[in-house]
A and B are shown apart, each in its own frame.
Chain A
Amino acid sequence: MSDNRSLSNSTALRDGSVLRRVRHLGSARDGLREWRLQRLTALALIPLGLYFTASLLRLATSDRLTAAEWLSSPVPALLVILFLLAGLAHMLIGLRSVFLDYVHSRARLLAAGLLVRAATAVLMGASVLAVLKLFLGR
């Protein structure tokens, strides 16, 4: 590129026309949805992750009452749930890229993908349930 301007200003009028042009590009002809979700969750995780990490570091070393109290208030509960959903989705997509690089047979790739997807579903369910229990039980 001769200049540093972002490409998007000069090549797109509306998101739809960009989407129609870039869909099915690449050797796999697939993955645009994951690519966009990865970037979307990444953006969401900037504020959510900072908030969660700061709170976690503060609370992880405190006694149960402080952490449970914090999670039973509505705004922390909401932000933590959003963090968990965005974070675990982001993790799932990221791990798929890692598997694609290091798992060489199709069967093992599918198995690994299913395993991680199942584990993520369990983690998502358990963590959201835990926060809901604290929030609804106040």
Chain B
Amino acid sequence: MPMQRPLSPFMFPTWYRFQITSALSILHRLTGIALAVGSILLTWWLVAVAAGGELFAVTHAFIRSPVGRVLLFLWSVAFFYHLCNGIRHLAWDAGYGFELRSAYRGGYIVIAVALLLTVLAWAYVLLA
């Protein structure tokens, strides 16, 4: 029996390899969505700080819990990545960096800087 034609999204990674261009592009979208969902929690936290009392106690306990800390960490990673790749997008909007070599180089820089910012931010949080 002939094999089914591979169709998106099942082309990745067996039939069509990820490249840094496509991977970072979908990651930009995914982190954007993650940050959008995170904005709900952010608003919740602000409202809790303003309201005080029981609401804040519950929210605070959740953030200090292991789940809360992991979520906060993941949010920060998403934020720093989306920020760095966003600047890469702005450079493209201005007309810079369309050659394939520049796109690849920019991609590696984005990953490096995003990781660096995450490390710096959490070092600041945990040590200062």
Which residues of A are in contact with B by a Cβ distance under 8 Å? 1, 4-8, 39, 42-43, 45-46, 49-50, 53-54, 56-58, 60-61, 63-64, 67-68, 71, 80, 87-88, 91, 94-95, 98, 123, 126-127, 129-131, 133-134
Contact = CB atoms under 8 A, between A and B. Distances in A.
B36 A91 contact: yes
B87 interface: yes
Contact of B46 (A5, A8, A57, A131): A131
Interface residues of B, number: 43
B50 A133 contact: yes
Nearest to A124: B43
Tell me the dominant secondary structure on chain B's binding face.
Answer: helix
Interface of B: 29, 32-33, 35-36, 39-40, 42-43, 45-47, 49-52, 56, 60, 63-64, 69, 72, 76, 79-80, 83, 86-87, 89-90, 93-99, 102, 121-122, 124-125, 128
Contacts of A133: 50
Contacts of A56: 42
A49 B96 CA distance: 24
Given A57-B76, A57-B121, A126 B43 contact: yes
Nearest to A5: B95
B49 A91 contact: no
Given A1-B98, A123-B43, A130-B46, A57 B125 contact: yes
